[in-house]
Structure 1
Amino acid sequence: MHEAYAPIRKLGINFASAYPTVEKVRNNIFQNLCFVYESDQKLISTLSLRMPWSNNPGPYYFPHIWWLATHPDYKGLGIGAKMLQYIETEIVQNDLHSPAVTLGTADNHPWLMKMYERKGYKKFGSQNLGKGHVTQYFIKVLQPYLFKGTAELQQQFTNVTYEEDTQHGI
């Protein structure tokens, strides 16, 4: 975590994951679902899911991605992207049957927001958490026919009406 988040610290962004301590890492492991990608017994990439029912839920009622990091020696190989896609599809969508997943990032990060948008995430809110930046929240609807947000959220994020969704018998 420390090596992967060095560029974040250089930008002056105060993500909790940018300043990992043994206690913070332990808390993350005990409080969240944590996934790792290893090769030759070396930790390459990690991703955590904060669950809506936990002591540290995300901003909406869906699993919330955080502490996504890839070791600098493996940056640019697509490992983090593959891990993110795997967690979205296999864990959040197929295992947890969640219609959506959320994540947050600093609004002043030079490229993360655009990257998440390219991966299908849409902005849905922001909050100043007192960390020196505004956290911009994103949502990705994985299963539109299960998404039960408000009518406004349904229109904004899914562009479907449930009365007309005959593909899934709804």
Structure 2
Amino acid sequence: MSEVFRLADPKDAQKLQDIIFRAYQLIRELGLHWPAATADVAVVEDNIVSNDCYVLEYAGDIVATVTLSRQDEVKQLTEHPFLKWFALDPDYKGRGLGSKLLSWVEEHVIRGKLGASAVTLATAEKHPFLVQMYERRGYERILEIMPHPDDGILYLMKKQLICEASTI
């Protein structure tokens, strides 16, 4: 099946809102106060316009999304690019498509286009599998924060993007 990686367009907002809402069901059940978890179409469209929102199309259908923030929301915590709003359509779980999108953004956008040596993201300690999932992808916990008392501890996580050695 064909895979296309691209920037989202505002016309994708409805589809992305549906994917994010369904993917973030557990986030809502855990009572985490993440803006993406309750975002309506207008908020998703604003995210697309205000940031670099990437999608993965699989067989012509958007199945995953992740946002590279252009906001100053974490500038006081990290100088590295910050990823947020990662979501995979639950109907496509277990096919490695979410991982493919993250890898593509890490390599082609963050390392390739931006020339950044590392990337960061944040996730909740109380989430049953996200911390471990990101650690398996090479992210390390670098800071504990508590922006909302009900969320408990959030980890700022960093992944060093290894540059290939040049050949002489």
> TM-score, normalised on structure 2?
0.78
In structure 1, the residue matched to 2:79 is: 61
In structure 1, the residue matched to 2:118 is: 100
Structure 2: unaligned runs, 5 residues or longer? 1-19
**Residue 81 of structure 1, aligned match among 99, 107, 110:** 99
In structure 2, the residue matched to 1:28 is: 47
In structure 1, the residue matched to 2:17 is: none
Structure 1 CA distance for aligned equivalents of residues 59 and 95 of structure 2: 17
Q: Secondary structure at the match of 1:28?
A: helix
In structure 2, the residue matched to 1:155 is: none
Structure 2 CA distance for aligned equivalents of residues 127 and 45 of structure 1: 27
In structure 2, the residue matched to 1:72 is: 90
Tell me by how many angstroms 1:40 deviates. Answer: 4.5
| Alpha-carbon spacing, 1:119–1:104, altered in 2? closer, same or farther (3 Å) | same
| Contact preservation (8 Å) 1:125, 1:138 | yes
RMSD: 2.0
Q: String of CA shifts for 1:39-95, please: whole Å, max 9, x gaps.
A: 3443210000013xx343453011101100011100111110111011111110011
Q: Which amino acid aligns with 1:18?
A: A
Structure 2 CA distance for aligned equivalents of residues 107 and 144 of structure 1: 30
> TM-score, normalised on structure 1?
0.77
Structure 2 CA distance for aligned equivalents of residues 37 and 139 of structure 1: 23
Q: Which amino acid aligns with 1:49?
A: L
> Do structure 1's residue 2 and structure 2's residue 21 form an aligned pair?
yes
* Paired positions, count: 145
Segments ≥4 residues shifted beyond 4 Å? none
Alignment of 1:1-170 (within 5 A): 1-51=20-70, 54-57=71-74, 59-130=77-148, 132-133=150-151, 134-143=153-162
Structure 1: unaligned runs, 5 residues or longer? 146-166
| Alpha-carbon spacing, 1:131–1:73, altered in 2? closer, same or farther (3 Å) | farther
User: Bigger relative contact order, structure 1 or 2, given CA contacts below 8 A and separation 6+?
Assistant: 2
Structure 2 CA distance for aligned equivalents of residues 55 and 15 of structure 1: 17
| Contact preservation (8 Å) 1:127, 1:135 | yes
| Contact preservation (8 Å) 2:54, 2:66 | yes
Tell me by how many angstroms 1:7 deviates. Answer: 2.1
Q: Secondary structure at the match of 1:35?
A: strand
Q: Which amino acid aligns with 1:23?
A: A
| Contact preservation (8 Å) 1:98, 1:143 | no
Q: Which amino acid aligns with 1:73?
A: D
Query: Identical aligned pairs, as a percentage?
Result: 33
